[in-house]
Amino acid sequence: MVRGKTQMKRIENETSRQVTFSKRRNGLLKKAFELSVLCDAEVALIIFSTRGRLYEFSSSTSRYVITRQLVFQCPLLI
């Protein structure tokens, strides 16, 4: 059975939005970790919640990865 695509729109219910944020945040953090391990890549992921809380993952120190990106002077890929 194939799942249909989820339409991208803001979740109006605050509780549902928070639950979805938590699940997707954990999924992103897991994928960042897997990418760093499987490909021996330096990965940094920074997430701010709507309440301003910081969540981050970095395969090395965050400061090192950010400094390296700034020195490289390459625009962030979004």
The pLDDT score that the predictor gives to residue 78 is 61
Contact status, residue 26 vs residue 34, Cβ threshold 8 Å: no
The pLDDT score that the predictor gives to residue 5 is 83
The pLDDT score that the predictor gives to residue 65 is 79
Residue 78 CA: distances (Å) to CA of 14, 51, 74, 75: 26, 22, 12, 9
The pLDDT score that the predictor gives to residue 68 is 80
Domains and CATH numbers, the chain: 15-72 (3.40.1810.10)
Which pTM value belongs to this model? 0.72
Instruction: Walk along the chain (78 residues) and give the pLDDT tens digit of each residue.
Output: 677 887 889 999 999 999 999 999 999 999 999 999 999 988 989 999 999 999 999 888 778 877 887 777 666 666
